[in-house]
Amino acid sequence: MEFNKEQKIIGLRVLSDNVIWLWKKNNSVVVVDPALSKPVIEYLRTYNLKLEAILQTHHHLDHIGGTENLIKEWPNVKVIASVKEKDRIPFQNISVKNGDKLHLLNKEVQVFEVIGHTRSHIAFYVKNKVPILFVGDTLFSAGCGRIFEGTYKQMYNSLKIIKSLPKNTLIYCAHEYTKSNLLWALELEPENQNIKNKLIEVEKKNLLKELTIPFLLEEEMEINLFLRADNLKRFTYLRANKDSWV
Ligand SMILES: [Fe+2]
């Protein structure tokens, strides 16, 4: 797999449905939520690249599992995580909070706290001509993260923050759940042509073994029922419905 000339970001599929994002400039790479170290090390060694930073959106093992070995390989790597997670992401060396701004690969990166999936989940927003959001497990294409530690209200407010970003924002989430999310959404809105079209597109990509992410915020506003929920009651209904959907 080669880096896309425009965005310079590629996804490594690992475990059953995780995606580790590698964001590159020249010979430096920033990795987002490395579930595992081996595929990242192999990729960077193959292309003679250096790991500059690791971004951690939250503490779940399928997001931080590879970090300690990556630190052994690149001892000077920056490990950026929420200051509230010093216990659960103990190897962090740059601790951030909502609103903080960092500079990585010559870009400004802003930290947004998007609570709900966990009590301190963060997302990283890269200011760019085409803005980029590394959103972890807060938003998926046609879905959103399960609420493990936060409240429905917190998750609803987190989605509002995402909705307020420029509509041309490209969103990089950490799991490939798109098809099953669309099938669920179609059960609730069987006549929704946008969802039907998206499902056709996603099935084609699945057949070709291509990723269905990143996705565009503007397009997601049409097909993601959680983003389209215009009040907390509707959001709560949808989240509970999805949790019990098989
Ligand atoms: Fe998670």
- Condensed to tens digits (0 to 9), the pLDDT of residues 89-122 reads 999 999 999 999 999 999 999 999 999 999 999 9
Q: Is 60 a catalytic residue?
A: yes
pLDDT tens-digit map of 12-33: 999 999 999 999 999 999 999 9
* Residue owning tokens 């939250």: 58
Query: Measured in angstroms, how far is the CA atom of residue 117 from the centroid of ligand 1?
Result: 7
Put residue 140 in one of left, alpha, beta given phi > 0 → left and psi -120 to 50 → alpha: beta
Q: Which residues of 35-48 are buried (b: 16+ CB within 10 A; e: fewer)?
A: bbbebbbebbeeee
Extract the tokens encoding 224.
């993601």
Q: Is the pLDDT of residue 4 over 80?
A: no
* 33, 59, 117, 121: the active-site residue: 117
- Residue 87 alpha carbon to ligand 1 centre in Å: 16
Query: What is the model's pLDDT at position 5?
Result: 53
The percent of residues in the chain predicted with pLDDT above 90, rounded, is 96
Query: What pLDDT digit, counting tens, does each position of 212-237 carry?
Result: 999 999 999 999 999 999 999 999 99
33, 58, 59, 121: the active-site residue: 58
CA angle 166, 154, 20 (to 5 degrees): 60
What's the pLDDT at 201?
97
Residue 103 annotated as catalytic? no
* 175 flagged as catalytic: yes
Q: What is the largest CA-CA distance in the chain?
A: 53
Looking at the whole model, is its pTM more than 0.85?
yes
- Are the C-beta atoms of residues 165 and 127 closer than 8 Å to each other? no
For 113-142, how does the pLDDT look when each residue is reduced to its tens digit (9 = 90+)?
999 999 999 999 999 899 999 999 999 999
Which residue do the tokens 């994002």 mark? 21
Among residues 33, 59, 60, 121, the one annotated as catalytic is 60
pLDDT for the residue numbered 6: 53
- Is 121 catalytic? The answer is no
Residue 168 has pLDDT above 90, yes or no: yes
Query: Are 58 and 136 a contacting pair, CB within 8 Å?
Result: yes
Kindly name the residue from 63, 87, 100, 243 that is annotated as catalytic.
63
The first and second tokens of residue 117, run together, are: 């999936």
Catalytic residue at 62?
Answer: yes
The model's confidence at residue 1, banded by pLDDT at 50, 70 and 90, is: low
Say what the pLDDT of residue 246 is. Answer: 72
> β-strand 9-14 against 78-82: which pairing, if any?
unpaired
Q: Which residues contact 246 (CB under 8 A, 6 or more apart)?
A: none
